[in-house]
């Protein structure tokens, strides 16, 4: 009963009859290069391009919740075996917790070995904390109970109004189970939602044609506002995080992909449009619609994709996890704050919870890090002012690792569920 969903023409592989410049990923690359040049040579004009990036991100976030609702509801309602919902959810959550926790450990290890903050000798009292105070007001370390209570929205419409992905998934799960239990009486509504899903993805096709413009606006603003020169003093931290992120994707996620029967490099090439878009916009949410399309075309069932991808954006934040422990140690080292093993374990334990939900939205990881540091009084939160100016550059790779990690997780769970065979998946990835 599934509806065929087609990718936009600009997202399809280049064919012999199609000029290379008509491909979406080529257009996004050109847009990024042009944006960096404009930001470097004319910062004022580049900053004025910000509305282009903001408008594209708003277009994507405008339709994300309805996409998730439709795909989750139709996926669950169309299942013959409802036990699969619980089984897939359980396997996904187990995978999320193991891999994201391992990412926190990697961040701690790299921070202690490379020590990117050593040599700064910053006096926290000399830092301008006015900008950081904006985030400290939003930062709050949630308890497990508070986190679980947050999953339940105040009202059904409130989840959609706020755009809270996890709350939308929760509402969609309930609605999908109810529609499935309705049997024949729910058939008409099921068909309406399937038709709506098809229409919504056509809207995605239209919106994605503006991706190069959005990428240009977002990247131009970043370079024009913060400037490449601002990276200089903190180049060791940025370089450490970039290299760690790349190695995490190629080595850790690569090993997981290899065990599941596919190549991480081929998968990255398959989602190159999404990779470029996330890097340009510094937001992993911009890739959700087309990532879900491509995973379904690789052979994953709609119900599995609809469950794993949105949930992963809350629970499987590999990039945010890497960033939080590494950045926490950087602040401590830069302010000459010695951390005992117990204090580092405290940071790790709190980050296990605060890292959840630190995906998609720009600045969410920074707020989560402030909340994490607040539980270790020895670390001056004022030290966050050191990295506030480069957070946008850090968020590029945070969002990228989050997105790639969720794509890999979906394929892995699909392999566990025997929805994909090794040979078929390899053939589709090319």
Q: Confirm whether 286 is domain-assigned.
A: yes
Q: Which residue has the tokens 């139709």?
A: 74
Q: Confirm whether 139 is domain-assigned.
A: yes
Q: Confirm whether 4 is domain-assigned.
A: no
Q: Is the pLDDT of residue 2 over 60?
A: no
- CA-based angle 241:246:249, to the nearest 5? 125
- Band the pLDDT of 104: cuts 50, 70, 90: very high
**pLDDT tens-place string over residues 246-301:** 999 999 999 999 999 999 999 999 999 999 999 988 888 888 889 999 999 999 98
Q: Confirm whether 3 is domain-assigned.
A: no
> Whole-angstrom Cα distance, residue 19 to residue 39?
29
User: Do 28 and 276 touch, CB atoms closer than 8 A?
Assistant: yes
Give DSSP secondary structure letters for 94-137.
Answer: HHHHHHHHHHHHHHHHHHHHH-TTTT----GGGS--HHHHHHHT
Domain hosting 265: range is: 9-429
Q: pLDDT at position 406, please?
A: 94
The mean per-residue pLDDT over the stretch 316-333 comes to 90
Q: Confirm whether 225 is domain-assigned.
A: yes
Tell me the whole-structure pTM to 2 decimals: 0.81
Q: Confirm whether 393 is domain-assigned.
A: yes
Handedness of CA 320, 323, 326, 327 (dihedral sign): negative
Count of domains for the chain: 1
User: Do 2 and 198 touch, CB atoms closer than 8 A?
Assistant: no
**pLDDT tens-place string over residues 365-391:** 777 777 777 777 778 877 777 787 778
Give DSSP secondary structure letters for 186-218.
Answer: GHHHHHHHHHHHHHHHHHHHHHHTTHHHHHHHH
Tell me, what CATH number does 384's domain have? 1.10.3860.10
**pLDDT tens-place string over residues 171-201:** 998 998 898 888 888 889 988 998 998 898 8
Q: pLDDT at position 357, please?
A: 57
Contacts of residue 20, defined as CB under 8 A and 6 or more positions apart, other chains included, come to: 14, 26
> Whole-angstrom Cα distance, residue 369 to residue 132?
11
Q: Confirm whether 72 is domain-assigned.
A: yes
> Whole-angstrom Cα distance, residue 295 to residue 303?
11
Q: Confirm whether 129 is domain-assigned.
A: yes
């Amino acid at each position: 009963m599934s509806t065929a969903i087609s990718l936009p023409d600009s997202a399809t592989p280049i064919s012999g009859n199609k000029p290379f410049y008509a491909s979406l990923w080529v257009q996004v690359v050109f847009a990024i290069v042009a944006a960096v040049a404009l930001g470097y040579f004319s910062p004022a004009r580049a900053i004025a391009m910000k509305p282009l990036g903001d408008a594209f991100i708003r277009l994507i976030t405008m339709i994300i919740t309805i996409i998730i609702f439709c795909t989750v509801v139709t996926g669950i309602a169309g299942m013959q075996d409802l036990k699969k919902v619980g089984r897939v959810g359980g396997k996904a959550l187990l995978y999320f917790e193991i891999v994201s926790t391992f990412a926190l450990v990697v961040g701690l290890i790299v921070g202690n070995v490379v020590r990117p903050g050593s040599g700064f000798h910053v006096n926290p009292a000399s830092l301008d904390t006015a900008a950081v105070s904006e985030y400290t007001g939003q930062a709050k370390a949630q308890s497990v109970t508070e986190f679980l209570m947050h999953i339940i929205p105040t009202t059904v419409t409130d989840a959609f109004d706020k755009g809270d992905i996890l709350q939308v998934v929760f509402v969609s799960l309930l609605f999908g189970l109810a529609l499935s239990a309705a049997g024949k009486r729910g058939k008409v509504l099921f068909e309406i939602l399937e038709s709506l899903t098809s229409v919504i993805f056509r809207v995605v096709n239209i919106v994605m044609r503006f991706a190069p413009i959005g990428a240009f606006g977002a990247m131009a603003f970043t370079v024009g506002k913060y400037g490449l020169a601002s990276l200089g003093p903190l180049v060791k931290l940025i370089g450490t995080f970039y290299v760690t992120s790349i190695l995490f994707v190629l080595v850790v996620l690569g090993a997981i992909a290899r065990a599941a029967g596919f190549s991480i490099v081929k998968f990255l090439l398959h989602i190159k449009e999404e990779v470029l878009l996330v890097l340009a916009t510094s937001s992993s949410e911009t890739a959700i619609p087309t990532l879900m399309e491509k995973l379904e075309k690789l052979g994953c069932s709609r119900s599995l994709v609809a469950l794993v991808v949105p949930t992963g954006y809350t629970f499987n934040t590999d990039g945010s996890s890497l960033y939080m422990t590494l950045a926490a140690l950087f602040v401590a080292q830069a302010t000459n704050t010695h951390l005992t093993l117990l204090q580092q374990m405290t940071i790790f334990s709190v980050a296990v919870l605060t890292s959840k939900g630190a995906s998609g939205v720009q600045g969410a990881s920074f707020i989560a890090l402030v909340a994490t540091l607040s539980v270790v009084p020895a670390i001056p939160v004022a030290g966050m002012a050191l990295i506030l100016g480069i957070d946008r550059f850090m968020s590029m790779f945070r969002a990228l690792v989050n997105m790639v990690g969720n794509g890999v997780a979906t394929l892995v769970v699909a392999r566990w569920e025997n929805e994909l065979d090794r040979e078929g998946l390899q053939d589709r990835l090319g």
